[in-house]
A and B are shown apart, each in its own frame.
Chain A
Amino acid sequence: MKPADHHPIAEKVRVAFPSFYGAATLFRGDLSIHLQKEGLVKVCTLLRQDPELDFDYPVHISSADYPKEKERFEMIYEFFSIQKKHYVRLKTRLREDQCHIDSITSIWRGAEFMEREVYDMMGIRFNNHPDLRRILMPEDYPEGYPLRKDFPVQGRGWRDTFEFLES
């Protein structure tokens, strides 16, 4: 993984929002820009509206869990430009006690389902999301958020009460 602060896309973000910009890395040709979570919507608006960047296509929104770190959750956004044919990945960290972030559905409508999935799987809340409900798990699912690292692979909850499953 190489630092890539001088990559033209990273440079543009850094010049426009120096206070939100963290770092940029390049790995196997994929550019990742680390941001402060407060600046996400502003940076996304820049990415979408700047004619040289023109990121009009939402590729995916994911999340990762690092339970041992202070800022436990990482949000990952990936965008593509159909005209310019380039990718960018934004990353931002969230603390467990403040695990909410602004929604970007006002910029890319496709983000609605992707953010719902992140909420369902990782328990990160999105401010100003039009319809924040669980999407893959049942709406009344009580056992937590499955993709967190402290969630056992075999599941938890009513299985633990089975008498024939000892230990």
Chain B
Amino acid sequence: MTETEATEQTKSLPLLRTEELQLNMGPQHPSTHGVLKVILTLEGERVVKAVPVMGYLHRGVEKLAETLTYNQFIPHTDRLDYVCAMYNNFAYVRAVEKLLGISVPERSEYLRTIVAEVQRIIGHLFWLGTQALDIGAMTVFFYTFRERELLLDFFEELCGARLTTSWYRVGGVERDIDAKMKEMLYKFCAEFPEKIDEYNSFLENNRIWIGRTKGIAVISAEDAINFGLSGPTLRGSGVDYDLRKVMPYGAYDKVEWSVPLGKNGDTYDRYWIRMEEMKESTKMVTQLLNQLPEGPYLADLPKIVLPPKSRVLTDMESMIYQFKMFAEGFKAPEGDIYCGTEAHKGELGFYIISNGGSKPYRLKIRAPSFIHMGAFDQMAKGYMIADVITIFGTYDIVMGECDR
């Protein structure tokens, strides 16, 4: 049968009936990293519309915050983005410190920055492993989790917990690091760049990986800004916006590092940025450890910072402060502040309204995952149904933070 004959034959057939198909993806889909449903409207395998349905993990953290003193809320921030508890702690205590108008000792700033960068590496390792797993490259997951384990061991040494750490305190940190922990980090930083090359060797020349990330979920710089995206998702589109550079906090202005920027705004660029950020973080940790100044790790503010336990047991005044701290907490001046921090997912911000009491009157969490979900429809439109999985991954979404 020639081509013309075939066309003639098709013409004589009744028209094929086409209709849009609605498909529920989730909430139990393994790649949604938590519980998230997306209602997809499909035309064949193409996504016409994607409506995210969230809230399966909503625990009312913002409401709870209104009933807790400022210190009592720190463990709750661990459970926002449960993969990267340290950075949530950091963002929260920074906001409270801005509200109180206090600063922390220099050593404490360095320690905070070191641990925050270690947490960033953990976050990106976790992301890389799961993103590759979602796309179908299973091996990478085992390799990234091997290094993540080393860093979690460091956290365990540091504060006794691996995931829900609560190590940051208003006015400093809970505990100092010692020679053994320093050694652990130095050793890790020396070996890690090689490991990054190892991960790259699995992915860089992997045709499936390239095919499924290049040109997928493209978002222009203008749209990315307009949607309020942040972190690697924004920088993948080439927007130079990193709060660590724009408004340096901690000890970020004391070390040399650069902000990697993408060009195309696709999933591959965001992958590349995260790989580069891990290298930058490693560099930063080494420099910070070298420069680490001596001094106290907690601010000398008896009304805000808990006195050391040894003093509480022997000293009357410290005992009173300790009692007052646990009975009523410290009072914050009246006013409202917003403080954003560059977590590894994006800008994690806390907006606190204080009415002069020891509990926040209103506490609002600007969670990057939530805001990224707002751009989901825009980014998924026109791609194949299998790419929806890639898009979940490229945001590095964690539902604990998204639903709060």
Q: Which residues of A approach B to under 8 Å, CB–CB?
A: 1, 27-28, 30, 32, 56-60, 62, 64-65, 76, 78, 82, 85, 87, 89, 108-110, 112-114, 117, 121, 134-138, 146-147, 151, 153
Q: Known contacts A56-B226, A109-B226; is A153 also within 8 Å of B340 by CB?
A: no
- The verdict on A82 contacting B225 (CB below 8 Å), with A89-B338, A137-B58, A138-B55 known, is yes
**Number of B residues with CB within 8 Å of any CB on chain A:** 45
Task: State A163–B295 Cα separation when bound (angstroms).
Answer: 58
Quote the shortest CB–CB distance from B77 to chain A (angstroms): 16
Q: Mark B343-359, 1 if CB is under 8 A from A, else 0.
A: 00001010101000000
Contact across chains for B349 and A1 when beta carbons are under 8 A apart: no
Could you tell me the distance between the alpha carbons of A58 and B46 in the complex, rounded to whole angstroms? 30
Mask: chain B, 72-98; 1 = CB below 8 Å from A; 0 = not: 000000000000000000000000001
Asked if B60 and A146 sit within 8 Å, CB to CB, the answer is yes
**Nearest CB in chain B: distance from A44 CB, A:** 13
Residues of B within 8 A of A146 (CB): 60, 63
Is B373 part of the binding interface, using a Cβ–Cβ cutoff of 8 Å? yes
Interface mask (B215-239 → A, CB under 8 Å = 1, otherwise 0): 0000000010111110000000001
Query: Binary interface profile of B, 115-126, with partner A (CB < 8 Å = 1, else 0)?
Result: 000000000000
| B374 within 8 Å of A (CB atoms) | yes
B60 contacts across to A, CB distance below 8 A: 146, 153
Q: Decide: A27 and B335 in contact? CB cutoff 8 A.
A: yes
Interface pair A60/B54, CB less than 8 Å apart: no
Residues of B close to A109: CB separation below 8 A: 223, 226-227, 374-375, 378
Q: Which residue of B99, B101, B349, B378 contacts A59 across the interface (Cβ within 8 Å)?
A: B349
The segment out of B104-112, B304-312, B361-369 that lies at the interface is B361-369
Give the CA-CA distance A113 to B240 in the complex, in Å. 24
Contacts of B277 in A (CB 8 A): none
- CB atoms of B64 and A153 under 8 A apart: yes
Which residues of A are found within 8 Å of B364, using beta-carbon distances? Answer: 60, 62, 76
Q: A28-B99, A62-B364, A136-B58 are in contact. Are A87 and B374 (CB under 8 A)?
A: no
Interface of chain B residues 222 through 273 with chain A (CB within 8 A): 223, 225-229, 239-241, 246-247
- From residue B379, how far is it (CB to closest CB) to chain A in Å? 12
Cβ-defined contact, A60 with B226, below 8 A: no
**Residues 357-404 of B contacting A (Cβ, < 8 Å):** 361-362, 364, 366, 370-371, 373-375, 378, 403-404
Whether B336 sits at the interface, judged by CB under 8 Å, is: yes
Shortest Cβ distance from residue B104 to the other chain A in the assembled complex, whole angstroms: 16
In this assembly, does B291 line the interface, its C-beta being within 8 Å of a C-beta of chain A? Answer: no
B362 neighbours in A (Cβ, 8 Å): 62, 64-65, 147
Q: Which residues of A contact B66 (CB under 8 A)?
A: 153
B226 touching A87, Cβ below 8 Å: no
Is B67 an interface position by the 8 A CB rule?
A: yes
- B335 & A60 in contact (Cβ 8 Å cutoff): no
Choose among B54, B225, B228, B240 the residue with the greatest number of A CB atoms under 10 Å from its CB.
B228
Give the A-binding residues of B (Cβ under 8 A): 54-55, 58, 60, 62-64, 66-67, 98-99, 101, 223, 225-229, 239-241, 246-247, 334-338, 340, 347, 349, 351, 353, 361-362, 364, 366, 370-371, 373-375, 378, 403-404
Q: Give the one of A27, A146, A153 with max B CB within 10 A.
A: A27
What are 8 contact pairs spanning A and B, CB under 8 A?
Answer: A27-B337, A28-B99, A76-B351, A108-B227, A109-B223, A110-B375, A147-B63, A153-B64
- Do A110 and B351 touch across chains, with their CB atoms under 8 A apart? no
Q: A60-B349, A62-B364, A153-B63 are in contact. Are A30 and B58 (CB under 8 A)?
A: no
Q: Is the CB–CB distance between A60 and B374 below 8 Å?
A: no
Contacts of B226 in A (CB 8 A): 56, 58, 108-110
What are the residues of chain B within 8 A of A89 when measuring CB–CB?
338
Known contacts A28-B101, A62-B351, A64-B362; decide if A136 and B338 are in contact (CB<8 Å).
no
CA distance in complex: A87, B229 (Å):
16
Nearest CB of A to B277, in Å? 19
- Chain B positions within 8 Å of A137 at CB level: 55, 58
A60 to B404, CA, bound (A): 15
Q: Which of B98, B338, B404 counts the most A-chain CB atoms under 10 A from its CB?
A: B338
